Structure 1
Amino acid sequence: MKSSMSARAWKFATLAGAVTVLTLSVNAGTSGTKAAPKEVRAMQPRATVTQLYQQNCLNCHGPSGEGGGAGTKTFLTREKFAQELDKPYFDAIKKGVPDMAMPSYGEAMSDEQIWGLVVLIREMQGRALRREFGSPRAVNGVYKSQRHNFKVETVVDTGKGLKTPWGIDWLPTGEMLVTNRPGGVVVVKNGNVMPLNGVPASLELGQGGMMEVSVHPQFRENGWVYLAYTEPAASGRGGNTKIVRGRVRVTATAATWSEQKTIWQSGPEFYTGAGVHFGSRIVFDGKGHLFFVVGERGGNMMAQELTNPFGKIYRVKDDGTIPTDNPFYSRVPADKPYLRAIWSLGHRNPQGLVMTPKGELWATEHGPRGGDELNLITKGANYGWPVVAFSINYNEIPQWTPWPAAGQNISMPTWRWMPSIGASGLDVARGRAFPNWNGDLLAGGLSGANLDRIRTNGAKLVEREELLHGMGRVREVATGPDGNIYVALNQPDKIIRLVPAP
């Protein structure tokens, strides 16, 4: 289990550039004497991070962090983008750097405002590094990564029956099932796309709709396929995430869904009109359980409460019954038995979930602006939202810091994407196609339009590289039965795959 931040060792040692990049005043003239720190005025509580930067940092560090004013150096380098510099950046702003004549801002700004400046710096760095180093590019159709070369092929092109494709899985007979968020599921067989008739009606409510499809690992024996979708409220107002299973039959000319059974749903009082943060993914652990996600629906602190279904990851048996060894089984309200399925809490909106062959459950999660996360999910753990976060509000008003207070047992992320990528879709590489990637995580991004490969050792990240960028919003990533890597794109709506290349 990951340790809490209070037990986590930050690198406080003076790192090359960690303080100089934040110096607002440096040596004056050529005499070697140092300028006195400038006077610092208290900031307004509702100041945006842009206002904070413009009033306190721009003159020395430039509009985009390029430096130059008063002799400051740029912080737009790979070395200064390292995540272990987060705390030194924060401390340099808060405590000042007297040797470099940089004033302390700890009295003028709140911790949340100081962290907001760190987020803004990270965004400047991310944009600059993208401009400098660009995106992965194919040469004669071949992409060269650290451990494999690959090509990209189109599996289902635009205009072929896909509408915001959301989830992908395969039947043992080779057919690919794909959910369309506006509603419905399609079957891809031998290049042809046909609808899966009889699936439940879903509600396209903002980010909600028909979301996940997951085939039971023992499908050949039991024939079950599972769906996660936004069920419309009986009252006609709003909806909530629901998990069902049914049987799928595919012939040469038609595909049908039947024998539907509810696996999990919340009480009707939690069917809301909020159009955000529904989750959801479904994965199996090979031991008769499935895990799934319900986002916090914009409810923020509801993610910390055991009295509602929002902002949680759940575990149930594959028939929908709830294991009595779930961590909160006896702690939830007696009139809400569906909450006994809670496995972890403190989530904002995970839209990536995978169980690795080693039995590790990983999730990728949307932060607001600045801090999407990769988390190793463990029984009963609290992942912090919205008590701690690596983010700022979309309106640029700082609200959080990433450090728990004393006594708060918060599990911290293995990796956070700063700038945010809109984390969505997560799987693990397996099979013969890319043997040097086997066991690595494959994570997608919507706003980032990226596909990352991530190698971990326990809860520690040991290697990360970007495989694709700029081909579309990556909604889903799935390793196919052939070992190739399939990617569902939105804008444009299509499915591509990565295949080995010499």
Structure 2
Amino acid sequence: MRVGLGAALLVLAVGGVGAAVLVPAEAATGTTIVSVASGRCLDVVGQSQADKTGVNIYDCNGQANQGWTYTAAQELRVYDSAKCLDVAGQDTTAPATAQIYTCNGQANQKWRFAANGSIVGVQSGLCLDVTGAATANSTLVNLWTCNGQSNQQWRTTLGNADTQAPTVPGSPRVSDLVCDAVTFAWNASTDNVGVAFYDVYHDGQLMKSVPGNTLSTSLTVVAGVTWGLYVNARDAAGNVSQASTTVPITPPQCQADTQAPSAPGNLTASASGTTVTLQWSAATDNVGVRAYDIYRNDAKVGTVTGTATTAPGTSFIDSALTGSTTYRYFVVARDAQANVSGHSNTATVTTGASCGSPVCAVTQVGTDTDIPWGLVTLPDGSLLYTRRDAHNIVRLNPVTGARTVVGTVPNVQSTDGEGGLLGLAISSGFASDHWLYIMHTSPADNRIVRIKLNGDALDTASEQVLLSGILRNKFHDGGRLRFGPDGKLYASTGDAQNGDNAQNTNSLNGKILRLNPDGSVPSDNPFGNYVWSYGHRNPQGLAFDSQGRLWEQEFGNSVMDETNLITKGGNYGWPACEGTSGTCGTAGYIAPKRTYPTAEGSCSGIAVVRDVVYIACERGTRLYRAPISGSDLPAAAVYFNGTYGRLRTVEPAPDGGLWLTTSNLGDKDSTPDNSDEKVLHVTLG
């Protein structure tokens, strides 16, 4: 912008933060970018226009080396657009050098403005950072891991007046589907400023991002594996649309394979109490072994799976057996085209007289045609659980199996993905106040409400909305609720398929939130709002140990899932890092206590019983058992591997055991009553 004669007082704002900056009449074309911490302007050192000149902060003076323009190509240009802000050497690790350079359209010259005032390098995901958090004139500005601190916050009118998300991309469709590729296309989204990117996903997992003028792309797929493809639109300010409808695909096999694997060999079985451990020698196959199926007394009781690049394991723990009983086992191998080997040798073993093992027995206490999601135990010992797609709550007597629908939660809307009726908690004074705390997706957002349960009836007239405005999307809605020993309500929220939300401490998304029971903000929260920790992708599991520490389970994208020990105000790194990959070793990020390959994880539920963490996994179809040692989880044993399929929720039971629910059918859609799920009780040793 050019200012006329005399001084002009401009109010420059980012993410709702405003400040008065005096700009003299001789201001050059362009707009200032002001450091929140110092009040000084982003400035090209020495007014030089030479390539590779650095940038610093300096008193705002209206000269041409402080006049910046943001272009539709996401460039920050200076000197009447002659030069671009540039990352030296296209470096993507912190610290990286910021400089000016002749504009060339490369990714290291593209920038986006986050809602918390950060200016983020598109290529690196790093933030413009005033070195050492200093405030003096001539302090250099470089790039560092985004941390939300004031030396990474800037006030400007560039790029951030836009808070309107694009419309939903239309008519997603596929063509040219072959064994390892497909062409995915869609109709253009619209936006008040302009669509900058389209982000293509399958089942909540980001596959690729393409420029906003691109309406089709080729995707790499896996033969024989069913995926649901969809696309989101994103503008330059980071606003993300709701997702398109889902297009399911199942690529054909690349070549016919009729040759079965060889039979697994050398099967052995050993008993420890009522738990049996099996081990065998790997089978071979002309293409590759994809899984082993385990049979006990001729009935399939588990599966050990691999991937296209990782062979399946060759051991299995069969737990919760009857004491002093003889069992007979064999194992078969499968390849990707369902060719099945012959049986291994048979191994026979007799269990001990008593359990003496971590997991002693499993009893099915209920079934449901919808997906049980949040689950609590009421004071009388009955169970209460939410039905995600049906939007109602069921009371279950675990002794008789009797079920009662206590009511439908108002204003719930599913997302054609993983949104709907989610987390559930009860107040510490439930016996007298009858409050249920519920997290759900509405037509506009995700929200936390409380409703009274009077007897077997949900009193919907008593509903109070405690917190609204949590962004929703098809996937990444979080949803778990847990009361802490401090009497506060903790909630996990997903990033709504926009990683920028996770690093913005003014956003409710990609966070662990902490509320007073009446919905107000606790006075000791670290950022003066509901945010307790940040940098999360899609956290769901929440549980407290005997020391009152909060453990969290989080979905990764395509590399690692995480179990985290949550600390007040902690930054857990998303989207810059996933698990321990990426820039997770950067100072300021808190590393997970344990990670799992996504093929062996995708875990939603977590419970702590006697300072042992239990983790329920969907894609991994298993329950992890990880004893807490100090502040670490040094080891994790696997139980029920493929025995019950996808496991969604695990909760402590009053007798010191666990409640466990499955999530096998209809998990990626919003169709009610298209499931066949189990509610299980696990007796622990």
TM-score normalised by structure 2 residue count: 0.47
**C-alpha distance in 2 between matches for 1:278 and 1:410:** 22
Change (3 A) 1:390 1:355: closer
Q: Distance in 2 between matches of 1:357 and 1:389?
A: 28
1 CA distance for matches of 2:555 and 2:535? Answer: 12
Distance 2:310 2:317 in 1: 12
Cα distance between partner residues in 1 of 2:483 and 2:656: 19
Q: What SS is found at the alignment partner of 1:374?
A: strand
Maintained 8 Å contact 1:444/1:452: yes
1:174 to 381, 394, 403: 381
Q: 2:584 aligns with which of 382, 403, 406?
A: 403
Is 1:477 aligned to residue 650 of structure 2?
yes
Would the aligned equivalents of 1:281 and 1:352 in 2 still touch at CA under 8 Å? Answer: yes
Inter-partner Cα distance in structure 2 for 1:221 and 1:345: 35
The change in CA–CA distance for 1:458 and 1:140 in structure 2 (over 3 A counts) is: closer
Match of 1:77 in 2: none
Matches within 5 A, 1:7-18: none
Q: Tell me, yes or no, if the aligned pair for 2:656 and 2:684 is still in contact at 8 Å.
A: no
Partner of 2:468: 265
Selected match of 1:325 from 521, 524, 530: 524
Greater shift in the superposed pair: 280-289 or 363-372: 280-289
2:682 aligned with 1:498 = yes
Is 1:424 the counterpart of 2:597? The answer is no
Deviation at 1:48, TM superposition (A): 11
2:593 matches 1:386: no
1:201-240 to structure 2, matched below 5 A, reads 201-205=411-415, 206-233=417-444, 240=445
Runs (4 or more) in structure 1 with deviation over 6 Å come to 46-51, 123-126, 141-146
Matched, 1:292 2:495: no
Q: Tell me, yes or no, if the aligned pair for 2:449 and 2:464 is still in contact at 8 Å.
A: yes
Bigger fraction of residues in helix:
1
Q: Is the 8 A contact 1:170 1:480 kept in 2?
A: yes
Distance 2:576 2:524 in 1: 27
**Larger Rg belongs to:** 2
The question of whether the paired residues in 2 share the 8 Å contact of 1:249 and 1:257 is answered with no
Matched ranges for 1:357-396 at <5 A: 357-390=546-579
Aligned residues: 345
Given the alignment of the two structures, is residue 351 of structure 1 paired with residue 532 of structure 2, yes or no?
Answer: no
Aligned-partner SS, 2:311: helix
- Paired residues of 1:126 and 1:418 also in contact (CA < 8 A): no
Specify which structure has the bigger relative contact order, considering alpha-carbon pairs within 8 angstroms and separated by 6 or more residues. 1
CA–CA distance in 2 between the matches of 1:176 and 1:193? Answer: 9
Counterpart code for 2:647: V
Q: Distance in 2 between matches of 1:404 and 1:133?
A: 33
Q: 1:441 aligns to what?
A: 613
SS at match of 2:559: coil
Quick check: 2:452–2:460 contact (8 Å CA) kept in 1? yes
In structure 2, C-alpha distance between the alignment counterparts of 1:487 and 1:476, rounded to whole Å: 6
Kindly indicate which of the two structures has a greater share of residues assigned to strand. Answer: 2
Work out whether 1:185 is the aligned partner of 2:381: no
Q: Is the 8 A contact 1:196 1:256 kept in 2?
A: no
The 2-side partners of 1:219 and 1:286 are apart by 15
Query: What is the Cα deviation at residue 125 of structure 1?
Result: 11
What CA deviation, in whole Å up to 9, does each residue of 1:285-312 have, x standing for no partner?
2323111011001101221112322101
Query: Of 313, 324, 328, which aligns to 2:512?
Result: 313
Using the TM superposition, give the Cα deviation of residue 257 of structure 1 relative to its aligned residue in structure 2, in angstroms.
4.8
Which digits, 9 at most, give the CA deviation of each residue in 1:415-451, with x for residues without a partner? Answer: 000244111101111xxxxxxxx22111111100111
Give yes or no for contact 2:451–2:459 (8 Å, CA) kept in 1.
no
Contact 1:195–1:255 (CA under 8 A) maintained in structure 2: no
CA distance in 2, matches of 1:199, 1:389: 35
> Paired residue for 2:622, among 450, 453, 458?
450
1:222 maps to amino acid:
D
- Contact 1:352/1:426 (<8 A) preserved: yes
Cα pair 2:647 2:662 within 8 Å, conserved: yes
Q: CA deviation at 1:350?
A: 0.6
Shift of the alpha carbon at 1:124?
A: 6.5
Aligned with 1:265: secondary structure?
A: strand
Give SS of 2:431's match.
helix
1:409, distance to aligned residue in structure 2 (A): 0.3
Write out per-residue CA displacement over residues 25-70 of structure 1, whole angstroms, 9 at most, x where no aligned residue: xxxxxxxxxxxxxxxxxxxxx999999xxxxxxxxxxxxxxxxxxx
Q: Which amino acid aligns with 2:538?
A: N
Distance 1:360 1:230, change over 3 A: same
Compared CA separation, residues 427 and 125, structure 1 to 2 (3 A): farther
- The percent of aligned pairs where both chains have the same amino acid is 28
Structure 1: gaps (5+ residues): 1-5, 7-45, 52-122, 234-239, 330-339, 392-399, 430-437
Q: Indicate if the aligned counterparts of 1:479 and 1:486 stay in contact, CA closer than 8 A.
A: yes
Mark the CA change 1:48 to 1:276 in structure 2 (over 3 Å): closer, same or farther: closer
Question: Is the partner of 2:578 in helix, strand or coil?
Answer: coil
CA RMSD between the two structures: 3.2
- State the alpha-carbon separation in 2 of the partners of residues 246 and 308 from structure 1: 26
2:502 corresponds to which residue?
303
On the 8 A contact 1:282/1:291 being kept in 2, the answer is: yes
CA distance in structure 2 between the aligned counterparts of 1:285 and 1:295, rounded to whole angstroms: 20
Helix, strand or coil at the partner of 2:526: coil
Paired AA for residue 604 in structure 2: S
Query: Where does 1:460-475 land on structure 2 (aligned, <5 Å)?
Result: 460-470=632-642, 471-475=644-648
Amino acid at match of 1:416: T
| Alignment partners' CA distance in 1, 2:410 and 2:509 | 22
